[in-house]
Amino acid sequence: MATLVIVESPTKARTIRNFLPSGYQVEASMGHVRDLPQSASEIPEAVKGEKWAQLGVNVDADFEPLYVVPKDKKKIVKQLQDALKSANELILATDEDREGESISWHLLQLLKPKVPIKRMVFHEITKEAIRDALKNCRTIDEQVVRAQETRRILDRLVGYTLSPLLWKKISWGLSAGRVQSVAVRLLVTKERLRRAFHQGSYWDLEAILEQNKSPFESRLVTVAGTKVATGSDFDPNTGNIIQGRNVRLLNETEARDLVTRLTNKPWTVTKIDERPVTRKPSPPFTTSTLQQEANRKLRLSARDTMRTAQSLYEQGYITYMRTDSVHLSDQAIAAARSCVEQMYGSQYLSPKPRQYTTKAKGAQEAHEAIRPAGSSFRTPKDTRLEGRELQVYDLIWKRTVACQMADARQTQITVDLQVEDAGFRSTGKRIDFPGYLRAYVEGSDDPDAALEDQEVILPPLKVGDRPKCKDLEAIGHETQPPARYTEASLVKTLESEGIGRPSTYASIISTIVDRGYAQLTKNALIPTFTAFAVTTLLEKYFPDLVNTGFTAKMEQTLDEISTGEAQWLPYLRKFYLGEKGLDNQVKQRESQIDTAEARTIELENLEAKVRIGKFGAYIELNRDGEQLTASLPQDVTPAELNDSQVELLLKQKTEGPDKLGLHPETEEPIFILNGTYGPYVQLGEVTEENKKPKRASLPKGVNISDVTLEMAVGLLTLPRKLGIHPDTGGKVGAGLGRFGPYVVHDQGKEGKEYRSLKAEDNVLTIELERAVELLAQPKKARNSTRGSTKEALRALGNHPDDGEPVNIYDGPYGPYIKHGKTNAGIPEDQSVEEVTLAIALDLLAAKASTKKSGGRGKKSETTSSGKTSKTASTAKKTTTKKKTSK
């Protein structure tokens, strides 16, 4: 008989096994084991008829939740039950936070152990910490469990009452929630600012001066004692100087005149100011700050960062990657300090060990900060890591080490100069002692600020010096609209407002992109028109729920519930029931909200209206009593849509496609059109005998207005034949595909090899020699599904239904074809090389059909529910596809 210990993660289970005496069995719960039913198929038959069944919470019976074991957790629960049979004691060692406490409670409810139980918590995975924890077990804190349950129910009530309202009033399949709707609103608010933004322009002067043969830069700051206007003097809403600012705005002529007037005049240093500055290293990483830095420095998405961190964690390189704490164990601090001494010397050590305290709202601190694992840190060089994993480990290692290093000492130098009535200023920075900057410089969301830590050298100067002017130039500037959110800055804002948790930052971004609320372009999150419609509705009718402060208030109440100062039931009742409760609010709004109005977005300075239709956003304009409509292409953003764009779209619709000209050889007309998948060119018209004329999409980044006849002719020749490969005799060609321009080497039976073109190549002009060069380069490793570092034996291309890749992999039972989650074996009589995409599709289809009918378990129930869920998921696929293609 043994003691069964249950933790949340299998990696943790493996580690602590080594720290426990023999006779302890450690198993993982893999997170939550029970939850409210996620979809209709999970609702038990017995309650299906109830009016609260869809909610999964019996709101009329004191909000009694309906818990089910999700399908993917059944196996785990079974394993735990089995493990418990041979145990004489159960220790619940889930994380010490609200969710962890709840997991333990659910485990008790499910496993119903007849043996003694204990609750154990630890924050560090070291032998001492775990032995200590074992001696100090407690019982489950029911109040904390209640707080979690209240949170869970509230989120369900918000999400499952608001979402259906959006289906009715705006569009099918939309969603709303405590977290996602606030995130979407942040994006929309920023986009509105960009739309309201008016550009201002101003000029100033830049001089290159020289003292003792050392050049330095200087910028105009005053003319005749009045400050010269710069960007911050402009009102972004008007593009003019803010009322009441006593500044001098220079235009181009004035700036150039000033250059002429100041040329060859003597310069004098009038004032020098030196100011010492010390800077402290940033605290060690939490989930949120790691995601931000990896996005800024490595351009990784939040999701990719977490995937990489997870892998580092599983390999034992770093501590747990989902944490909101900046706390370091004594052991970690000692390890970091010894790294500093060894690598940089003791003068770089901070005089005292630094321990940071967490400032984030609502932090629960169940784990340490993210740091290299162990009691001595492996330097990045000493690991066998490579690629992305090495980069992320390097980031974590440096950040952790840096936080035990000395402050950086710098001197900020400001030099004022005078020439005639013009005042100039030069600024410099001297790094007196780099301290932690030797190891780590934090990235910034503002690219200009990233330069901040660099030294800016000024020659030694003193008051009265007369530097020579080598160059004087007038420079024009334009004010910039507020930057859109990036993944990094959105995560930063959400965290500082206490919205979302470390385990969810990455998925919040996926959710708002998947639901069609935002698109990620060049690292910027751009809200869609649907996001505008939804946000406008929620702001108008449910302002409290989309307020950034809502979560903070909820968290406060949850804290009170967990300490016993507040009661959960009155809180939920007040929130949901009664006249002012959410239920009633939604019912009232349902009759008040006009559907057509909710689907309409009115934008300032835009004559046309934007409407949300079944197939995405479109514009509508009433002209001469006639309703004109046209679809909005995907790349049109709410901030930039203007009357001339509307005009162009309508013109294309009413007057038919724009004719670019005639093909020089065939004399057929070439049209430029805007389709669902973006702009494209077409050779000839659609007629009875020519139903599918030759078409070609424009390459990314090319606008309709940029297309010349020559380019269109070129695009229509694609795919081009380049010639014969000198080594193999295979055919080499170039074309434009889903992932952009490519070259291809077709060796018949041997299959085709593809390579993407580099930025400097042009698909229309690329020649055989260059193509062969590209084909000789190794294939770029695509980051396939997590963990499976296994490389595909062959890539067959993409599935026509969903565009997902169809690959052949080697498995323990021989090679198999993989498409998404469907695997299909290859018949014995067929070799891997013989399989074409068409054959693969047949095999996959055959596999999918046997899967459907071959359900196991009870006959009638499984087949019927299996069928509905199948149709439901197909239906879902088509709509998401439509939504994303708009």
Partner DNA sequence: CAGTGAGCGAGCTTCCGCTTGACTT
Q: Which is nearer to DNA, 484 or 515 (CB)?
A: 515
Residues 27, 93, 98, 258: which binds DNA (CB under 7 A)? 98
Q: Applying CB under 7 A, which part among 126-134, 215-223, 626-634, 745-753 lies near DNA? A: 626-634
Residues 787, 791, 838, 848: which binds DNA (CB under 7 A)? 787
> Whole-angstrom Cα distance, residue 160 to residue 886?
25
Q: Which is nearer to DNA, 617 or 732 (CB)?
A: 617
Residues 308, 364, 410, 557: which binds DNA (CB under 7 A)? 364
Does the protein bind DNA through residue 299 (CB under 7 A)?
Answer: no
Q: Which of residues 25-64 bind DNA (CB under 7 A)?
A: 28, 30-32, 35-36, 38-41, 54
Identify any residues that bridge with 247 across adjacent strands, giving them in sequence order. 227
Residues 1, 49, 72, 778: which binds DNA (CB under 7 A)? 72
Residues 876, 877, 878, 884: which binds DNA (CB under 7 A)? 876
Output the smallest distance, CB 228 to DNA, in A.
Answer: 47
> Whole-angstrom Cα distance, residue 306 to residue 295?
11
Residues 6, 69, 96, 97: which binds DNA (CB under 7 A)? 97
Q: Which of residues 4-23 bind DNA (CB under 7 A)?
A: 8-12
Q: Which of residues 319-338 bind DNA (CB under 7 A)?
A: 320, 322
Strands 87-92 and 117-119: parallel
Q: Which is nearer to DNA, 82 or 446 (CB)?
A: 82
CA angle 183, 502, 136 (to 5 degrees): 145
Output the smallest distance, CB 841 to DNA, in A.
Answer: 16
> Whole-angstrom Cα distance, residue 189 to residue 482?
11
Output the smallest distance, CB 876 to DNA, in A.
Answer: 6
> Whole-angstrom Cα distance, residue 386 to residue 464?
56
Q: Which is nearer to DNA, 12 or 194 (CB)?
A: 12
Q: Applying CB under 7 A, which part among 224-232, 533-541, 719-727, 870-878 lies near DNA? A: 870-878
| Residue 192 CB partners (closer than 8 Å, separation 6+) | none
Output the smallest distance, CB 344 to DNA, in A.
Answer: 34
Strand order in the sheet with 814-819: 794-798, 805-811, 814-819, 822-825
Q: Which is nearer to DNA, 350 or 631 (CB)?
A: 631
Per DSSP, the three-state class of 393 is helix
DSSP run (H or E) holding 273 = strand 268-279
Binding mask 476-505 for DNA (x = CB under 7 A): -----------------------xxxxxx-
**If we measure between CA atoms, which residue out of 144, 283, 160, 249 comes closest to residue 566?**
144
Strands 814-819 and 805-811: antiparallel
Does the protein bind DNA through residue 368 (CB under 7 A)?
Answer: no
The footprint of DNA on this chain (CB under 7 A) covers a number of residues equal to: 94
Q: Is the distance from CB of 428 to CB of 366 less than 8 angstroms?
A: no
Q: Which is nearer to DNA, 748 or 814 (CB)?
A: 814
Q: Any idea which residue has 């290159």 for tokens?
A: 208
**If we measure between CA atoms, which residue out of 404, 466, 461, 403 comes closest to residue 428?**
461
Output the smallest distance, CB 700 to DNA, in A.
Answer: 12
Candidate list 202, 320, 517, 576, residue with the active-site label? 320
Q: Applying CB under 7 A, which part among 107-115, 411-419, 427-435, 780-788 lies near DNA? A: 780-788
Residues 19, 122, 618, 742: which binds DNA (CB under 7 A)? 618
Q: Which is nearer to DNA, 476 or 803 (CB)?
A: 803
Q: Which is nearer to DNA, 97 or 442 (CB)?
A: 97
Q: Which is nearer to DNA, 442 or 555 (CB)?
A: 555
Q: Which is nearer to DNA, 226 or 878 (CB)?
A: 878
Cβ atoms < 10 Å from Cβ of 521: 12
Q: Which is nearer to DNA, 153 or 474 (CB)?
A: 153
> Whole-angstrom Cα distance, residue 259 to residue 419?
11
Residues 126, 150, 181, 404: which binds DNA (CB under 7 A)? 181
**If we measure between CA atoms, which residue out of 432, 118, 81 comes closest to residue 274?**
432
Q: State the DSSP string of 120-186.
A: ---SS-SHHHHHHHHHT-B---HHHHHHHHHHHHHHHHHHHHHHHHHHHHT-TT----TTHHHHHHH
Per DSSP, the three-state class of 768 is helix
Output the smallest distance, CB 734 to DNA, in A.
Answer: 17
Output the smallest distance, CB 498 to DNA, in A.
Answer: 9
Residues 3, 175, 479, 637: which binds DNA (CB under 7 A)? 175
Count of residues making up the chain: 886
> Whole-angstrom Cα distance, residue 510 to residue 723?
43
Q: Is the distance from CB of 734 to CB of 766 less than 8 angstroms?
A: yes
> Whole-angstrom Cα distance, residue 409 to residue 437?
10
Q: Which of residues 382-421 bind DNA (CB under 7 A)?
A: none
Residues 83, 130, 159, 286: which binds DNA (CB under 7 A)? 159
Q: Is the distance from CB of 731 to CB of 721 less than 8 angstroms?
A: yes
The strand ranges marked E within 29-95 are 57-58, 64-65, 87-92
Q: Which of residues 677-706 bind DNA (CB under 7 A)?
A: 677-678, 680, 692, 695-697
Does the protein bind DNA through residue 185 (CB under 7 A)?
Answer: no
Output the smallest distance, CB 834 to DNA, in A.
Answer: 16
Q: Which of residues 525-554 bind DNA (CB under 7 A)?
A: 551
Residues 126, 286, 291, 310: which binds DNA (CB under 7 A)? 310
Does the protein bind DNA through residue 101 (CB under 7 A)?
Answer: no
Q: Which of residues 801-860 bind DNA (CB under 7 A)?
A: 809, 811-814, 816, 821, 823, 825
Residues 63, 66, 83, 99: which binds DNA (CB under 7 A)? 99
Tokens for 761? 């190549």
Residues 352, 580, 614, 780: which binds DNA (CB under 7 A)? 614
Decide if 320 is catalytic.
yes
Which bin fits 330, alpha (ψ -120 to 50), beta or left (φ > 0)? alpha
> Whole-angstrom Cα distance, residue 146 to residue 329?
30
Binding mask 730-749 for DNA (x = CB under 7 A): --------x-----------
**If we measure between CA atoms, which residue out of 505, 496, 507, 489 comes closest to residue 293?**
489
Q: Which is nearer to DNA, 177 or 281 (CB)?
A: 177
**Could you list the active site residues?**
320
